[in-house]
Structure 1
Amino acid sequence: MCTGKCSVFIAVSLYPLALLSIACNILLFFPDWDTKYVKDGKITEEVKYMGGFFGGGVMVLFPALYIHLTGARGSCGNRCGMFFSLVFAAVGVAGAVYSFIVALLGFSNGPLCRTTSKGWDTPLKNSNHLTNYDMWSACKEPKNVVQFNMGLFIILMVVSVLQGLLCTSQIINGLFGCLCGTCNKKAEA
């Protein structure tokens, strides 16, 4: 497979992952599908870092656009273009790593929720809540916030790993394209 065609494949694969990452981060702002928590500032701290929006979203979407243009036939699919796709892919890797770290922290610390004893707190922080499901009942409001946050943070972690792998493969592909060319030839008339 040509490095140009490989770039297009990688970019097309990155688009839905970046959009899924943005969507998951936006959904995290609305636990129990209600806007009152975001209005009152009762949102888990890691959600506010917007790892899925900026890291897995914007920092992957813009490189994906450039990588796609680099691999497009007749576009800047030359050695210089492949070099810049390598640089943009490195930005994508950085975004994916940021998204993964924020999602991992949000997953391991647990959500901000109202408890009966302490009011609004993160009662699952520094606990073994991943295997002790009885601890999840400490969160009284928003309803099912533990499952909601954990599910979306898991999706963000999986998406960011896939984004990191795709961007890393573009770094390798860009290196080959920079050294050997993209093998995109114009159709002969």
Structure 2
Amino acid sequence: TLLSPCMMTCSQTCSRILGLSLSTTALVAAGANVALLFPNWDVTYLLRGLIGRHALLGSGLWGGGFMVLTAATLISLMGWRYGCFSKSGPCQSMLTALFSSGLALLGALICFITSGVALKDGPFCMFDVSSFNQTQTWKYGYPFKDMHNRNYLYDYSLWNSGCLEPSKAVVWHVSFFSTLLCISLLQIFLVVIYFFNSILGLFCSLCEKS
């Protein structure tokens, strides 16, 4: 009987920590996605519509950002037993835990998949297509997408020659999408911990009532 309240307190403390951690990762994800909309912090590319579809999709903003932040807020409220959660029963607590876990997991997965695809396709930039039509021509597109014999992620010689504009487009693209990939992976890990923590909390509350 003495162990159950102690474990309940531990479970609530864990929820507070996980809620704060998820909130932090959500803000980082949103910031990384915003940076992808402004290559080299230049707004003209966005105004001219010269931003890649992966960045414009905004999965770091609404997926790894807003959806995870919403779930993190619910998790924190549950941990602090604030407002309508102050006297919530086991069923309400479990339903809230399932909803917040599902919401955060969905947002993180969307961000993870989008970031992985973005890293695979490469940056959207201006590149030289003269090798295809004999005349020197530049256009915007994905120069590394159909390059099956070389992987730009490992071939650093392509980083400066592949994209002509924006400058350092490859570095910008890889840096922020890698950040989104790692952040979303961390979010998935935290959500899994929270889910098992919620099951532990439910078990303890049932033991306390019995």
TM over 0.5: yes
Are 2:142 and 1:134 equivalent residues in the alignment? no
Per-residue Cα deviation, 1:19-60 (whole angstroms, up to 9, x for no partner) = 000000001000121111101111111111111011100110
Aligned counterpart, 1:158? 182
Aligned to 2:55: 47
Match 1:119 to one of 105, 130, 139: 139
Counterpart code for 2:188? G
Q: Secondary structure at the match of 1:181?
A: helix
User: Per the alignment, in what secondary structure is the counterpart of residue 171 of structure 2?
Assistant: helix
Q: Specify which structure has the bigger relative contact order, considering alpha-carbon pairs within 8 angstroms and separated by 6 or more residues.
A: 1
TM-score, length-normalised on structure 2? 0.82
Match status 1:108 vs 2:116 = no
Which ranges of structure 1 fall in alignment gaps of 5 or more residues? Answer: 184-189
SS at match of 2:157: helix
Among residues 174, 180, 198, which one is paired with 1:174 in the alignment? Answer: 198
Deviation per residue, 1:131-176 (Å, 9 max, x gap): 1122221200000010001000011011001111111111111122
Corresponding residue number in structure 2 for 1:96:
108
> Runs of 5+ in structure 2 lacking a partner?
1-6, 130-137
Q: Which amino acid aligns with 1:152?
A: F
Change beyond 3 A, Cα 1:167–1:182: farther
Output the TM-score relative to the length of structure 1: 0.90
Assess, with a 3 A threshold, how the Cα gap between structure 1 residues 91 and 129 changes in structure 2: closer, same or farther. Answer: same
RMSD over equivalenced CA pairs, Å: 1.8
Check whether the contact 1:86–1:175 (CA below 8 A) recurs between aligned residues.
Answer: no
State the Cα distance separating 1:182 from its structure 2 match: 9.3
- Preserved contact between residue 3 and residue 182 of structure 1 (Cα < 8 Å): no
Structure 1 runs of 4+ with >4 Å offset: none
Counterpart of 2:143 in structure 1: which amino acid?
P
Structure 2 distance, partners of 1:126, 1:175, is 46
Whole-Å Cα distance in 1 between the matches of residues 49 and 166 of structure 2?
A: 13
CA distance in 1 between partners of 2:16 and 2:95 (Å)? 15
Q: In 2, are the aligned partners of 1:86 and 1:170 still within 8 Å (CA)?
A: no
In structure 2, the partner of 1:16 is 24
3-state DSSP class of the match of 1:133?
Answer: coil
CA distance in 2, matches of 1:90, 1:98: 12
Q: Higher mean Cα deviation, 174-183 or 158-167?
A: 174-183
Amino acid at match of 2:70: F
Aligned residue pairs total 183
Partner residue of 2:168? Answer: 144
The answer (yes or no) to whether the contact 1:83–1:178 under 8 Å persists in 2 is no
Residues of 1 paired with 2:25 and 2:164: CA distance? 32
- 2:140 is paired with a residue whose SS is strand
- Please show how residues 17-36 of structure 1 align to structure 2 within 5 Å: 17-36=25-44
